[in-house]
Amino acid sequence: DMLGVKPGATRDEVNKAYRKLAVLLHPDKCMAPGSEDAFKAVVNARTALLKNIK
């Protein structure tokens, strides 16, 4: 849900959604308060989704 992909998404779909958000939230690019935590949440969401894809 964090990455905005549907259940059953492919690795490519997950990675594409991750890259889109990572560019916006990466701590080197975004100085907004909470952006580092948001970036970590996106990384964790990607990791969890990719573990479930065979």
Q: What is the pLDDT of residues 3-19, one digit of tens each?
A: 999 999 999 999 999 99
Check if the beta carbon of residue 45 is closer than 8 Å to that of residue 25: no
Q: How far apart (Å, rounded) are the C-alpha atoms in residues 37 and 25?
A: 9
- For the entire predicted model, the pTM comes to 0.87
Report the pLDDT averaged over residues 43-53: 95
Q: In the prediction, which pLDDT does 1 show?
A: 75
The superfamily in CATH containing domain 11-51 is DnaJ domain (1.10.287.110)
- Tell me the CA end-to-end span of the chain in Å, nearest whole number: 19
